[in-house]
A = this chain, B = another copy of it.
């Protein structure tokens, strides 16, 4: 496996490979990332995993400084997983002027859900992903469904800016408890990690009610939020949305997703569950 820290090295390698899949990450890899790598391998001749903690997608007061950097362990896991290249650029390699000047600006959806409490986050994500796409020039790129809104933004961007890249969504990896795997789970205490399963449990409860014919989305949302608050969570949002557009769910919609963000102690966790309704 190659480890490249510069754009020049990456590009010179890229010229020799036909079909490349990119898995963009911020490192601190867990089984969710490795599932992305497995999917990527099935779609290309070579898999590039980028590892870059991207300052411009963190807001003021967020955990940019604290975010775990574990390159050595990540490289070990990626070697085992059969990645071909780790692209781990320095901050000056990607932001040689200190800051980014040109941004890819997503539409209004960037200010809803996670965007409401993280202004500029999706702009930062769209911009770094565009930069990585331009550097790696992949044929396909894999993104986890756990960051559901991010996936929607990336899919929208690729289509709207005519990027010739297939975006492949990959299912959420979960602990046995149901907790969605996330680098930020590392911030949880042992007790919190156990309790954290309540979030996905509430999503499943809502989904089951919806599959049984319950279309009282607001009541379902309130009930789940109340449960979590009563158990010590600070709920950012828990909402039923249209799975593709992420607009507010209509009673007639069939492709839905329940998206949620809530804070346990000081750790902000997100999760979601797609609900495909067959019958009216």
Contacts and interface: CB of A to CB of B under 8 A. Distances in A.
Interface string A134-169: 110100000000000000000011001111100000
For A100, A101, A106, A157, the residue with the greatest tally of chain B CB atoms inside 10 Å of its CB is A101
A102 B161 contact: yes
Contact of A162 (B97, B135, B160): B135
Interface residues of A, number: 26
A54 to B, nearest CB: 13
Interface string A77-119: 0000000000000000010010011111111000000000000
A101 B105 CA distance: 9
A160 B156 CA distance: 21
Contact of A161 (B107, B134, B162): B134
A134 B97 CA distance: 24
A263 interface: no
B105 A103 contact: yes
A161 B97 contact: no
For A11, A103, A157, the residue with the greatest tally of chain B CB atoms inside 10 Å of its CB is A103
Contacts of A126: 102
Contact of A102 (B102, B106, B137): B106
Contacts of A130: 161
A7 interface: yes
A231 interface: no
Interface in A225-279: none
Nearest to A7: B162
Contacts of A164: 11, 134-135, 137
A184 interface: no
A101 B7 CA distance: 29
A232 to B, nearest CB: 39
Contacts of A11: 164
6 contacts: A101-B107, A103-B105, A127-B161, A131-B161, A134-B161, A134-B162
Interface of A: 7, 11, 94, 97, 100-107, 126-127, 130-131, 134-135, 137, 156-157, 160-164
Given A11-B164, A102-B156, A135-B164, 6 more contacts: A97-B160, A101-B107, A102-B104, A102-B126, A102-B160, A102-B161
